Amino acid sequence: MNNALIPLRFNDADEGAFHQALQAQAKRYLTDSGDHRFANRRAFIKAGLILATGVVCYILSLRTSQPVFFVAGYTAFALLMMWLNIDVNHDASHQTFTRHRIWNAFISRAVTLPTGIEPVYWRVRHVSYHHRYANIEHYDLDTEENGIFRQTPFQRWRRWMRFQRFYWPLIAALSLSWIGVVFDWADRLGRTPLQAERLLPGARGWAAFIFSKTGHLLLMLGLPVMMGHSVWLVLGIYCLTQMCTSLLVVFLLLGTHWAGAAFYQAPEGDTPVMAHGWYYHNFTTACDWHTPQRWLETFTGGLNYHLTHHLFPGWHHRHYPMLSRIVSTLAREHGLPYRCISYSDLRAAQRIFLARMGAPHAA
């Protein structure tokens, strides 16, 4: 089965001046501050504190004999580990948490274990497809047609989709499990465009993949049951925390590519080239949003600066507040449609988008 996509390029003829100015100001910012683009000591300490607190919560949940304390500790562990995925694994997947690929890979595999997701497949889907081809039909694997939920104007409409603005939170809550069970196995069995990437080859690849699955089940289900907790209690809190952590990520992410965003189809041909440039594409398919209070950015992992992240995927998220100001200024000078909206505006735009995509014959 050949699922490989034809390489797609962007027409960057008119974006040279913006590119040079953007890179020059970003480089000057680093030089003037004597800094680098990776995580710093503060980011390492923050990650260490989150991890340590999560491990303590997990151990306490195993050792307690009281169901209420087990549920509290288990839930805290799941939420803290998802925070690590947002704050650390996202950067590690972009090779920006540390300077060393092997450490970034190790961190990703360790941090994703509580989620049940294979980190190698997620990284390639995210970095090589979503970042490169955001909101392009068939190329952005995050918006693949699934027959349940319509999220681009080019996908087939079905009758039940008129209600998707009401049932989308359930879809969001199941997204994490869907990635771990459906996407990962489809990728593993060569039924997606990732087949062309030849990821996790041979017996060692299968061993790493099976480790991520069995390790997840042992950590989140096996050990609590072996420590004497009720099977039904463990299974119930597992399902609940998987749904809650999935919702947490989706509420931070999805609206950034829906709120007033454009969607595109790839041109036909053996060497397709988009009519517009890569920078324009990112400005029209994503936006930044600001938290009600600045301190809340501690919990977003930089995902609220989502357009800025797409322009600077090779920079740790601690730089995004300053980089977003550079992007905003230069975008005005070069006529590019930079948007930074409030979270309430983001949610409102998301509701409008879901209703429009759920309407019959919407385009």
Return the number of other C-beta atoms located less than 10 Å from residue 295's C-beta. 8
Q: Structure tokens of 89?
A: 């694994």
pLDDT in tens, the chain (363 residues): 457 899 999 998 889 999 999 999 999 999 999 999 999 999 999 999 999 999 999 999 999 999 999 999 999 999 999 999 999 999 999 999 999 999 999 999 999 999 999 999 999 999 999 999 999 999 999 999 999 999 999 999 999 999 999 999 999 999 999 999 999 999 999 999 999 999 999 999 999 999 999 999 999 999 999 999 999 999 999 999 999 999 988 888 778 999 999 999 999 988 999 999 999 999 999 999 998 888 888 999 999 999 999 999 999 999 999 999 999 999 999 999 999 999 999 999 999 999 999 998 655
Q: What one-letter code names the amino acid at 135?
A: N
**For position 2, what pLDDT does the model report?**
52
Positive or negative: CA dihedral 132, 133, 134, 140: negative
- Name the helix (H) or strand (E) containing 121: helix 119-124
Closest to 120 (Cα-Cα) out of 183, 39, 37, 214: 183
Closest to 306 (Cα-Cα) out of 335, 330, 283: 283
Return the number of other C-beta atoms located less than 10 Å from residue 156's C-beta. 8
Whole-angstrom distance, CA of residue 116 vs CA of residue 209: 10
Report the length, in residues, of the chain: 363
Q: What is the DSSP string of 26-66?
A: HHHHHHHHT--SS--HHHHHHHHHHHHHHHHHHHHHHH---
Are 146 and 234 contacting, i.e. CB atoms less than 8 angstroms apart?
A: no
Q: Structure tokens of 213?
A: 């699955």
Whole-angstrom distance, CA of residue 104 vs CA of residue 60: 28
Are 312 and 26 contacting, i.e. CB atoms less than 8 angstroms apart?
A: yes
Whole-angstrom distance, CA of residue 24 vs CA of residue 29: 9
Beta bridge partners of 288: 340
**For position 1, what pLDDT does the model report?**
44
Residue ranges covered by each domain of the chain: 24-264+275-358
**For position 250, what pLDDT does the model report?**
85
Whole-angstrom distance, CA of residue 118 vs CA of residue 185: 9
Closest to 128 (Cα-Cα) out of 306, 8, 232, 29: 8
**For position 338, what pLDDT does the model report?**
97
Closest to 228 (Cα-Cα) out of 345, 66, 344: 66
